[in-house]
Structure 1
Amino acid sequence: MSSKNIQRTEPGASEERAQKEELNQKIKEQKIVVDELSNLKKNRRVYTQQPNSNIFFLADKGETLSSCKQDLDNMRKEYQDI
């Protein structure tokens, strides 16, 4: 007799796993954004993109960095809740 390792998954488990992987990817991207912003020289300009558009506006570096850090923290909390 051959034994087969059959994995039984609950309904929605694969969806949850895919959601978790996608969120993990977004967290990695956000970490890079925070690192890049925190390593910019003092006199460098930062631009933010308007939602659903290709228009960029000059933004304050400190405000942008703090909002990116806050987004990263929110993503990490959401990831832990999953």
Structure 2
Amino acid sequence: MSEAAFYDTLRQGLWTATLLSMPILSIALVAGLAIGLLQALTSVQEQTLTFVPKLAAIVAVFWISMGFMTETLVGFFQDTIAPAIEGS
């Protein structure tokens, strides 16, 4: 494998990782901002109030986007990694 092909595969892998993590990270950001705003407006500083809803939102989004994540990862391996291993 040439150096250029290696770096191209690495770039594609990093982009795939970014695409896979985007739904979960974005919902964690939105849930964190909403809960932080709620805490600031009500002056309630309970630690579990931030953790439990964020965790529930992340699990729900993971469950919903699991098909997209699987298809993206399988496509990456079939289109990029498997041909690189075979030497094509």
Same fold by TM-score greater than 0.5: no
Which structure has the highest strand share of the two?
1
TM-score range, shorter chain: 0.3 to 0.5
Q: TM-score, normalised by structure 2?
A: 0.40
Q: Which has the higher contact order (CA 8 A, sep 6+)?
A: 2
Which structure has the highest helix share of the two?
2
Q: TM-score, normalised by structure 1?
A: 0.42
